[in-house]
Amino acid sequence: MTDRIALSGLKVRGYHGVFDFERREGQDFVVDVVLELDLRPAAASDNVVDTVHYGELAKRLAAVVAGEPVDLIETLAQRLADVCLADSRVIAATVTVHKPQAPIPLEFADVAVVIRRERA
């Protein structure tokens, strides 16, 4: 499948991490998703009901990031992939979770986990 919908740079405050202060103070997470699906029906109909509404998707993803805390961003990424694959039209989803304020005592630009999940 070569058709894709990409949503990049979704910034949401979350309370994920293994340290107490991460759970208490929270930090910003940045999420990128790429959905693989057939966009021909939407292109033919010119109707949003025939595609994944990326505004609604963004709200669902943000709710997960702002929701129940987890220790690992690997777990968070899996939960986000599950949200993406909940739409039966999505064949595969690539999810990147960035943790730019990770508690690393060195200067760094970003830490991210990238997963790709396909419909079984």
Identify which has the larger pLDDT, 90 or 1. 90
Residues with active-site annotation: 99
Gap between the Cα atoms of 56 and 28, Å rounded = 20
Q: What is the pLDDT of residue 84?
A: 98
Assess contact for 37 and 5: CB atoms under 8 A: yes
Residue 1 in this model has a pLDDT that exceeds 80: no
Gap between the Cα atoms of 17 and 113, Å rounded = 13
Give tens-digit pLDDT for 12-61: 999 999 999 999 999 999 999 999 999 999 999 999 999 999 999 999 99
Residue type, 41: P
**R_g over Cα of the chain:** 15
Give tens-digit pLDDT for 65-94: 999 999 999 999 999 999 999 999 999 999
**Among 25, 11, 101, residue whose Cα is nearest residue 65:** 11
Gap between the Cα atoms of 50 and 12, Å rounded = 27
- Taking the model in full, what pTM does it have? 0.95
CATH number of 4-118: 3.30.1130.10
* Residue ranges per structural domain of the chain: 4-118
